[in-house]
Amino acid sequence: MAQTKLHEKPRNVLLLGSRGLLGNALLPALRRTFDRVRCMDRAELNLANLSQIEAALDGVDFDLIVNAAGYTAVDDCEINERLAYLVNGDAPARLAEIASAKGARMVQFSTDYVFDGCAFLPYREDDAAEPISVYGKSKRAGEQGVLAAGGKHLVLRLSWLFGPGRTAFPDWVLRKAATDGRIGIVSDKSACPSFAPDIADWMIALLHSDKPKGGLVHVCNGGVCTWKEYGEEVLRCALELGLLQEVVPVDPLKLADLTGLTAARPLYSALDTSRFSQLTGVTPRPWQDAVAEHVRCLGSAAATTQAVKSG
């Protein structure tokens, strides 16, 4: 029998994966919002060890568990299938069961890779999830396990995550542009970039929403783009800010022509965020605005580093 909490809104939060790109953004947002936030790293709670999970959480008081941890190396998941299913599927399901038993809620993060990429319009939450990779299949298993454990648990699907403090696609684009003076980027794969600090704020908005709680919600920045368009916007912002001295040519590539990729990837995996807006009243800002903010932050960080070296 699930315990009943005396307060409706969560106060004590347990965050897993605080050192990752997403967790790095979630932690300050959670600390601004809730009374107490405890982080547990892999040494304390290893999601690949199911028998350890219950023991690690025994006696830990929380009203909300936020799982930002996962096995996200898409190609490696094809090789380490069992590990992928343990970390992305079995462990979230077990966490959700424990949360339900405590009368707590859970937020699990998933991916656009649960779709096969055959759509021509952004995917809605009720569209069929038909993943084409082990990574996508393992994340879909996690979704199903979490949702089956309790009606108040949230599963947030993201795509093309980027943000401060961790290397992501924009950082790679700028590095390649600086070193090579020219860059090739895939032009036949489309989705929606997701800025980690925005995701953190929007998660908080969902948790505080008075509308029906729980279920699947798509959360990402507004608009759809190809990888090439995404990279070109990064370069445009960098040029405007003086981080680049001249225009860097971008050559279009096809996903099928890339070597070294083991896992299949959906060519189109844009996410429809209508449900998120209905629940919160928030309209996600355009991905271009988020990219501009991120590039400005990269420029400020680079200037600070240079000043320290010069000093």
Residues tagged active-site:
135
The 3-state DSSP class for residue 7 equals coil
Beta bridge partner(s), residue 186: 253
Secondary-structure percent of the chain, ordered helix, strand, coil, rounded to 5: 45, 15, 40
Nearest residue to 279 (alpha-carbon basis) of 232, 213, 222:
213
Cβ(269)–Cβ(115) below 8 Å: yes
Q: How many CB atoms lie within 10 A of CB 238?
A: 23
Cβ(57)–Cβ(45) below 8 Å: yes
Q: Which residues contact 2 (CB under 8 A, 6 or more apart)?
A: 100, 101, 102, 103, 150
Write down how long the chain is. 311
Write a three-state SS string for 242-300. Answer: CCCCCCCCEEEECHHHCCCCCCCCCCECCECCHHHHHHHCCCCCEHHHHHHHHHHHHHH
Q: How many CB atoms lie within 10 A of CB 118?
A: 11
**CA distance between the termini of the chain:** 62
As a whole number of angstroms, the distance between CA 119 and CA 297 comes to 34
